[in-house]
Amino acid sequence: MRETAVRAPLAGNDSLWRARYGRGMIGPHHIEGYAIVSADGMIADAAGNMPDTLHNESDQRFLQTALDRAGVVVHGRRSHEGGPRAARRKRLILTRRIAAIAPDPSPANSLLWNPAGATLAQALAALGAEDGIIAVIGGTEVFSFFLPLYDAFHLTRAAGVRIPGGRPLFAEVGPTTTPEDALIHHGLRPRARRDLDAAAGITLTTWER
Ligand SMILES: NC(=O)c1ccc[n+]([C@@H]2O[C@H](COP(=O)([O-])OP(=O)(O)OC[C@H]3O[C@@H](n4cnc5c(N)ncnc54)[C@H](OP(=O)(O)O)[C@@H]3O)[C@@H](O)[C@H]2O)c1
């Protein structure tokens, strides 16, 4: 696994990243995103709930296996991957309810993190997760926050599902911008698309930098 450094500017918010995370290495990490989106690029409905139509067994198997291999799972306060092995995983939960880094009162192995008050490197060190894959699992703001830094993004698409007015994968996704547009804009390129569940129209494309 290679060292992950803050990269040269690729998009507008790279300067934000440099300001927050500085110029240093953040350890031997590989940053990977995981999402399942509707045909119109949404991860949840307008109320912030993930509809059953976006749940797929094959996608869940893919996600849960990948998260078992990750060094840390990162998500916002309203997201969680669930499943029987979730409690074993180290995790950072983004929230503005704390100033920087704080213990999470409920699950073991997890810390609350506010990026405005502590760098990612500091949060990882506090969690004792100094190597391995950083698996980013959403939601919208968290997926967007890491856009300049993904080494890979695993984009599952549910071709038969539409969620008008829903929550987009990335903040910039909308009527004229697809998730793929956003990934390209931030320097990622697709590998071959494969079927996860052909009968249900579920495909997976891994995007890499
Ligand atoms: N389809 C998919 O692949 C997928 C993936 C992920 C989630 N989802 C679904 O999407 C819905 C939730 O998404 P969401 O976007 O509303 O929620 P979310 O990202 O899980 O949580 C939002 C909260 O995270 C915190 N947060 C986010 N960005 C932050 C930042 N930069 N700094 C500090 N705190 C930050 C804030 O918490 P505080 O309010 O505590 O400050 C914010 O209110 C759920 O239904 C979930 O199941 C779907």
What are the sequence ranges of the domains in the chain? 28-208
Q: Which of 170, 180, 153, 167 is nearest to 50 (CA)?
A: 167
Distance 112 CA to ligand 1 centre (A): 13
137 lines ligand 1 (CB under 6 A): yes
Cβ 186 vs Cβ 11: under 8 Å: yes
Lowest mean per-residue pLDDT among 22-36, 83-97, 105-119, 149-163: 22-36
Topology at the third CATH level for domain 28-208: Dihydrofolate Reductase, subunit A (3.40.430)
**Full-model pTM:** 0.91
pLDDT 10s digits, 158-190? 999 999 999 999 999 999 999 999 999 999 999
Cβ 200 vs Cβ 55: under 8 Å: no
Cβ 73 vs Cβ 89: under 8 Å: yes
Distance 199 CA to ligand 1 centre (A): 30
Residues in the chain, how many? 209
Strand partners, 37: 157
**pLDDT higher than threshold 90 for residue 17:** no
Distance 158 CA to ligand 1 centre (A): 20
